Amino acid sequence: MSWESLLLMMPYITVVLLMVIGLFTVLFKKNLIKIIMGITIMQNGANLFLVSLAYRSGEYAPIFTSAESTDMVMPTPHALTLTSIVIGLATTALMLSFTIMIKRHYGSINTEDVRRCKE
């Protein structure tokens, strides 16, 4: 495997690393804040995957009107990524607000303590 092919695969390797780190955090951490951070890391991995799929060497973004050729990338993955970022922000804010409510009700954000305190 040459260095050039490794560099071309670097975004996909980063996507796999982000997904594995996020999944490990969600599965093995007990703190709700750390679990939310793991979910956010996985969302960022999915966004990087969408942007990586949209990249085409030698093609232009469709917003350039004075491009030298008609080779343009599809704007759909970029629009999906922007939508995903907004949805990710909203779900992260919702999860954090739930964490605040859990802390007020149970007195802890540790998942084991909350499970023991079920009513």
CATH number of the domain within which 90 lies: 1.10.287.3510
Q: What is the pLDDT along the chain (119 residues), one digit of tens a residue?
A: 788 888 888 989 999 999 999 999 999 999 999 999 999 999 999 999 998 888 777 666 667 666 666 677 777 888 889 999 999 999 999 999 999 999 999 888 998 888 776 65
pLDDT recorded at residue 66: 67
Number of domains in the chain: 1
Contact between 45 and 19 under an 8 Å Cβ cutoff? The reply is yes
Cα–Cα distance, 45 to 21 (Å, whole number): 10
pLDDT recorded at residue 87: 96
Which residues span the domain enclosing 35? 3-116
What pTM was estimated for this model as a whole?
0.84
Structure tokens at 117: 């305190």
Q: Which of 102, 82, 99, 84 is nearest to 34 (CA)?
A: 99
CB atoms within 10 A of CB 40: 17
Cα–Cα distance, 119 to 107 (Å, whole number): 14
pLDDT recorded at residue 67: 60
The b/e string for 9-26 (b: 16+ C-beta within 10 A; e otherwise) is: eeeeeebeebbeebeebb
Residue matched to tokens 């050729």:
69
